[in-house]
Amino acid sequence: MNPVRITDTSDLWWKTAVVYCLDVETFLDWNGDGIGDLEGLAQRIDYLADLGVTCLWLMPFYPTPERDDGYDISDFYAVDPRLGSLGDLVEVIRTANDRGIRVIADLVVNHTSRQHPWFQAARSSPDSPFRDFYVWRDEPPEEQPDPVFPDQEDSVWTYDEQAGQYYLHRFYKEQPDLNVTNPRVRDEIAKMMGFWLELGLAGFRVDAVPFFLETMGVEGAADGEGEDFADPHAYLRSLRSFLGRRVGDGVLLGEVNLPHEEQLEFFGGDDGDELTMLFDFIAMQKMYLSLARADAGPLAEALLARPETSSDCQWATFVRNHDELTLDKLSDAERQEVFAAFGPEERMQVYGRGLTRRLPPMLDGDPRRVRMVYSLLFSLPGTPVLFYGEEIGMGENLEAEGRLAVRTPMQWTSGENGGFSSAAAEELPGPVVEGPFGPEHVNVADQRRDPGSLLNFVRQLVRRYRECPELGWGRFAVLEQPVPAVLAHSVTWDEACTVAVHNLGPDACTVPLTLEGAGPGDRLVDLLGDGETPLGEGGSVELPLDGYGHRWLRWVRPGDRRLP
């Protein structure tokens, strides 16, 4: 393996970050009105710091009619009054920064709410200066893409009586798409980004990136001044450039669920001048296929198929996010395998492409499998992203509609409403999880006091990940070995190398490996437990693994002064 050496890492903090995503509305209610708020979040910043979080990603906190759980925004320059004020948000950012945590927020520039003043002005008259902020047609085209929510919308064009035309919306009809070919729209987006950056944000998670770039190619979007953006990716480059001017080390974390080759375009190819990070949706989906089959092959293939990126870019790895667990990049047969293993009931599936479940219930609550998967997450090359509640093993509430099944109130204690709120249950933003994954069995307070809890295990993973910068910076390699259920890989950077082995199957096994370049006295030191294993002649070693077992091992050479 050829080590990768990079000398200047000062501005690339996100290469070794630990990202934690939460919805303020469901995290902690401090004033007792039933809705999570920024004051409550501020009270839990120390909890996140203790966990080891270094980047907090806030889902939309802007004013909203709540048609799409906050992603239908009616004012880009304010905080939803139910959640608090701008002052409360600044206090969250300041407190987080004091604890070494950067804060990013959702950047939603694909659409607005239908109640946004821009749209209300646009529909009022064809001569309105805001008319071209959106995409209009006299008649919808015969051919059009499928709606993002096919069970809710049957077209991406809706007729507006007042405007006398159809407007484009790839999501709900309550979310008209912005016309980003219009330079005035682009200027407004830049102003909005600048506003939040001045308040202390370290960047943005960019929502639904391919959709707003596609809008540039829709008939009716061009306004005669959009020729400068005939290449849609020029707009992403302009956003990255603007961010760099305002915040030199800012980050754009993009939601781009496309094949790897197309994702590379959104990084900016070899130049790496568009999105800073992209979620690796392909590896995530293949991981679930591997779990269903107890065969590491699909995941290994996906990881090896990752295209080489610029050193200024990074993959973001995740097990679960705030949307449905999409399986759309699997074949129909593969998707059915995962459905059969982890979501066999119709109520567990959504849109014909995904699951509305969290990991622990999918794995029948087996702590060995759950821990193995999170160990795998943190050992893969890239930046790990956690969704709130994952660190304690929260489940879903299938009584909630669609994607809201996994956006349930955070479970802090075993008490009423899981310690989320003192309000009556009907005042909460959604139902609390019930059954074996409910607060009486799964909560922060109990797990903080239990050394063997999942919370303390995840805390250990975070600590080890932060101590192994090669996992964020290094070169990945799959290590050949004969056990199909096992993924063995190494990540190397400079002189450091971490080896990880994960057994996706229930049977114990012994994994023979050969580490090229090993010399006399080299050894592997366990990072998640005690013990070490000397390397034999030619770098040979045999590593025992329990069923669903996992091990992280640092390759230590004689004279190595780093802590193992």
Residue 65's alpha-carbon distances to 54, 90, 178, 524, in angstroms, are 31, 23, 18, 55
> Is 255 a known active-site residue?
yes
Q: Which token pair is 309? A: 């990126």
Q: H/E element holding 231? A: none
Q: Mapped to the 3 state alphabet, what secondary structure does 404-469 carry?
A: HHHCCCCCCCCCHHHHCCCCCHHHCCCCCCCHHHCCCCCCHHHHHCCCCCHHHHHHHHHHHHHHCC
Separation of alpha carbons 487 and 529, rounded Å = 19
Q: Are 237 and 273 in contact (CB under 8 A)?
A: yes
Q: Are 419 and 443 in contact (CB under 8 A)?
A: yes
Residue 20's alpha-carbon distances to 24, 51, 102, 322, in angstroms, are 12, 10, 10, 11
Q: Which residues pair with 478 in a beta bridge?
A: 489
Phi-psi category of residue 395: left, alpha or beta, with phi > 0 → left and psi -120 to 50 → alpha:
beta
What is the signed CA dihedral for 236, 238, 243, 244, rounded to 10 degrees?
110
Q: Are 71 and 79 in contact (CB under 8 A)?
A: no
Q: What is the DSSP letter of 381?
A: S
Separation of alpha carbons 102 and 104, rounded Å = 7
Side-chain-side CA neighbours of residue 354 (13 Å): 24
Q: What angle do CA 61, 207, 150 make, to 5 degrees?
A: 105
How many CB atoms within 10 Å of residue 322? 18
Q: What are residue 135's phi and psi, to 5 degrees?
A: -110, 120
Residue 409's alpha-carbon distances to 31, 65, 323, in angstroms, are 15, 20, 15
Q: Which token pair is 391? A: 């660190």
DSSP characters for 153-209?
Answer: -S-SEEEETTTTEEEE-SS-TTSPBB-TTSHHHHHHHHHHHHHHHHTT--EEEETTH
Pairing status of strand 550-556 against strand 532-534: unpaired
How many CB atoms within 10 Å of residue 87? 10
Separation of alpha carbons 315 and 272, rounded Å = 12
> Is 207 a known active-site residue?
yes
- Give me the catalytic one of 207, 265, 390, 396: 207
- Give me the catalytic one of 23, 255, 273, 280: 255
Residue 545's alpha-carbon distances to 292, 382, 533, 538, in angstroms, are 19, 25, 13, 22
Dmax over CA atoms of the chain, in Å, equals: 80
Give me the active site residues, please: 207, 255
